[in-house]
């Protein structure tokens, strides 16, 4: 049995439709659609894909955001995980502890199995899928970034057959050629030569196009359709060859998107309140505001009193959504009005002192899609990272001989952490205790297992006029975040 995971970065599952994605719909007819499927918090790519490959939440693997402040060294340093060279350096410096738990690539290699990665995401994201690939002499190919590729002889072979790696296109231009190149590289080079036990084929779109054009814009719909056509080539191969060789196909996305409505500046708000904010650690900075759509505040003096003061400041702003600080008890954070970071599984040593999402709503955007938000990025259209249900919603379709209920829909809550445990279970490889995800027994063994127990819960705290509610759902021992809202 082998596995092929095809990822569509930032694809909202409600955009999967016969007119736009006929090949994903074709996969649905073969397999099982996970209709209640979610990502992790923060709903950012370089938190979500580490959760995919570790089968664990952010609190376990430690990738607390696309960017974070590293306090393990003096002075503290700002880390942008898009930089694959930096990630390799951090892994070597830490004795292989870039991520705080084992990854799928490491687990497979220890069992004599292989993981291959082909991706058009950022170089950092590409490395995250199999960050030790060169150590095991396994496959990791980027459609654009030579430094993220290994081994060299495979890259040379692929370039000789398919042409050289393509330059990364401008962010405003949909990346069609890159998706074509990695699809061909899988079909014509990697599969015929290596027959990997597990392959990740990751299309870096429609995420970037959604950011710059809008989640339902014509340019975004066009690149979604293009990626679906490339996936159609893969599905044709699966029908003709892969299925007979026991390949199971899993289609996923790492998060959804909602629409930015009102741009704000957290730095300006904090400066008006008397703070000395900056976007990286410095002697004259008393609070680092990590750039991005997820609010991450690192204080020079993270005392309970200072944390409470800054939470009181931001919860008075109209843009402030749910807020999380170090746990005071089972529900509350140490700052009045905040919830404990453990409730959204970001209680890692790298996590910010204060984490917050921008306030979102259920308005209908110009493209007829639900979801709007305050935002800070210059990416002024499609955004993600927070706790709106459409940011957390992710694609999940599974097909193959291991999943017998073809053409069905599973409404049982599931999440991105569940794929690695399910793959290991089917490969009969022990699941490490670090994994927080679960085996999707309701679709693997639907006739032999009782339906899992499902339980919902909500947490409600406030400060003055500010109120926030976090909703979660439990399936057996696993917990999924449904939404986080704030008002006042």
Predicted confidence band of residue 9 (pLDDT cuts 50, 70, 90): very high
pLDDT tens readout for residues 17-35: 999 999 999 999 999 999 9
Percent of the chain's residues with pLDDT above 70: 99
Cβ atoms < 10 Å from Cβ of 11: 31
pTM over 0.85: yes
pLDDT tens readout for residues 353-411: 999 999 999 999 999 999 999 999 776 689 999 999 999 999 999 999 999 888 999 99
The owner of tokens 């089972």 is: 330
Predicted confidence band of residue 311 (pLDDT cuts 50, 70, 90): very high
pLDDT tens readout for residues 202-240: 999 999 999 999 999 999 999 999 999 999 999 999 999
* Gap between the Cα atoms of 226 and 230, Å rounded: 6
Q: What angle do CA 403, 405, 407 make, to 5 degrees?
A: 110
pLDDT at 380: 65
- Contacts for 475 with CB less than 8 Å, ≥ 6 apart: 412, 413, 414, 438, 452, 453, 454
Both tokens of residue 82? 């898009």
Both tokens of residue 488? 């006042």
* Gap between the Cα atoms of 48 and 60, Å rounded: 12
Question: Which has the closest alpha carbon to 70: 274, 255, 242, 288?
Answer: 288
Predicted confidence band of residue 193 (pLDDT cuts 50, 70, 90): very high
- Burial state string for 333-368 with b = 16 or more CB within 10 A and e = fewer than 16: bbbbbbbbbebbbbbbebbbbbbbbbbbeeeebebe
Yes or no: say if 228 and 22 are a contact pair by the CB < 8 Å rule.
yes
The owner of tokens 């900056």 is: 278
pLDDT tens readout for residues 241-282: 999 999 999 999 999 999 999 999 999 999 999 999 999 999
pLDDT tens readout for residues 136-184: 999 999 999 999 999 999 999 999 999 999 998 888 899 999 999 999 9
Yes or no: say if 183 and 152 are a contact pair by the CB < 8 Å rule.
no
Both tokens of residue 402? 């291991």
Across all residues in the chain, what is the average pLDDT? Answer: 96
pLDDT at 465: 96
Over residues 67-96, the mean pLDDT reads 95
pLDDT above 80 (res 41) = yes
pLDDT at 449: 66
pLDDT tens readout for residues 415-457: 999 999 999 999 999 999 999 999 999 999 876 667 788 999 9
Yes or no: say if 179 and 205 are a contact pair by the CB < 8 Å rule.
yes
* Gap between the Cα atoms of 192 and 175, Å rounded: 26
Q: Which domains does the chain have, with CATH numbers?
A: 2-259+386-444 (3.40.720.10)
Predicted confidence band of residue 2 (pLDDT cuts 50, 70, 90): very high
Both tokens of residue 28? 């649905």
Phi-psi region of 345 (alpha: psi -120 to 50; beta: other; left: phi over 0): left
The owner of tokens 């909602």 is: 258
SS3 sequence, the chain?
A: CEEEEEEECCCCHHHCCCCCCHHHHHHHHHCEEECCEECCCCCCHHHHHHHHHHCCCHHHHCCCCCEEEECCCCCCEEEECCCHHHHHHHHHHCCCCCCCCCCHHHHHHHCCCCEEEEECCCHHHHHHHCCCHHHHCCCEEECCCHHHCECHHHHHHHHHHHCCCCCCCCCCCCCHHHHHHHHHHHHHHHHHHHCCCEEEEEECCCHHHHHHHCCCCHHHHHHHHHHHHHHHHHHHHHHHHHHHHCEEEEEECCCCCEEEEEECCHHHHHHHCCCCEECCCCCCCCEEECCCCEEEEEECCCCHHHHHHHHHHHCCCCCEEEEEECECCCCEECCCCCEEHHHHCCCCCCCCCEEEEECEEEEECCCCCEEEEEECCCCCCEECCCCCHHHHECCEEEECCCCCCCCEEECCCEEHHHHHHHHHHHCCCCCCCCCCCCCCHHHHCCCCCCCCCEEEEEEEEEECCEEEEEEEEEECCEEEEEEEEEEC
Cα 178 from chain centre: 20
> Taking every pair of C-alpha atoms in the chain, what is the biggest distance, in angstroms?
66
pLDDT above 90 (res 55) = yes
Yes or no: say if 57 and 48 are a contact pair by the CB < 8 Å rule.
no
């Amino acid at each position: 049995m082998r596995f092929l995971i095809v990822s569509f970065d930032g694809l909202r599952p409600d955009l999967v439709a016969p007119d736009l994605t006929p090949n994903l719909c074709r996969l649905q007819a073969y397999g099982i659609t996970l209709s209640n499927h979610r990502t992790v918090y923060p709903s950012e790519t370089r938190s979500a894909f580490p959760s995919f490959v570790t089968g664990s939440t952010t609190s376990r693997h430690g990738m607390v955001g696309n960017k974070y402040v590293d306090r393990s060294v003096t002075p503290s340093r700002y880390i942008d995980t898009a930089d694959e060279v930096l990630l390799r350096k951090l892994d070597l410096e830490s004795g292989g502890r870039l991520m705080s738990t084992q990854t799928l690539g490491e687990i497979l290699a220890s069992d004599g199995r292989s993981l291959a990665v082909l991706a058009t995401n950022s170089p950092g994201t590409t490395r995250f899928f199999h960050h030790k690939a060169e150590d095991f002499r396994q496959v990791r190919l980027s459609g654009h970034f030579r430094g993220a590729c290994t081994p060299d002889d495979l890259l040379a072979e692929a370039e000789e057959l398919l042409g050289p790696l393509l330059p990364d296109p401008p962010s405003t231009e949909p990346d069609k050629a890159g998706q074509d190149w990695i699809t061909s590289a899988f079909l014509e080079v990697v599969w015929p030569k290596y027959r990997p036990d597990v392959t990740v084929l990751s299309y870096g779109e429609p995420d970037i196009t959604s950011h710059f054009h809008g989640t339902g814009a014509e340019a975004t719909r066009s690149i979604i359709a293009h990626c679906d056509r490339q996936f159609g080539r893969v599905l044709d191969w699966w029908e003709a060859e892969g299925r007979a060789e026991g390949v199971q196909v899993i289609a996923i996305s790492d998060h959804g998107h909602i629409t930015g409505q009102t741009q704000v500046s957290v730095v300006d708000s904090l400066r008006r309140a008397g703070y000395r904010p900056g976007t990286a650690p410095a002697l004259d900075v008393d609070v680092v505001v990590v750039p991005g759509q997820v609010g991450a505040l690192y204080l020079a003096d993270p005392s309970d009193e200072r944390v409470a003061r800054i939470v009181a400041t931001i919860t008075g702003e109209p843009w402030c959504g749910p807020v999380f600080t170090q746990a005071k008890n089972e529900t509350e954070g140490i700052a009045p009005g905040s919830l404990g970071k453990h409730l959204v599984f970001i209680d890692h040593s790298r996590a910010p002192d204060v984490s917050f999402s921008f306030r979102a709503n259920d308005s209908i955007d110009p493209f007829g899609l639900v979801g709007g938000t305050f935002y800070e990025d210059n990416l002024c259209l499609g955004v993600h990272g927070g706790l709106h249900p459409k940011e957390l919603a992710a694609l999940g379709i599974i097909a193959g001989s291991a999943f017998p209920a073809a053409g069905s829909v599973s409404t049982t809550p599931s999440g991105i952490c569940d794929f690695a445990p399910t793959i290991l279970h089917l490969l009969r490889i022990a699941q490490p205790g670090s994994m927080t995800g679960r085996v999707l027994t309701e679709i693997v063994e639907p006739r032999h297992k009782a339906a899992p127990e499902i339980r919902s819960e909500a947490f409600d705290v406030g400060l003055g006029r500010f109120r926030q509610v976090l909703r979660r759902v439990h399936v057996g021992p696993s917990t999924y975040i449904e939404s986080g809202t704030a008002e006042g």
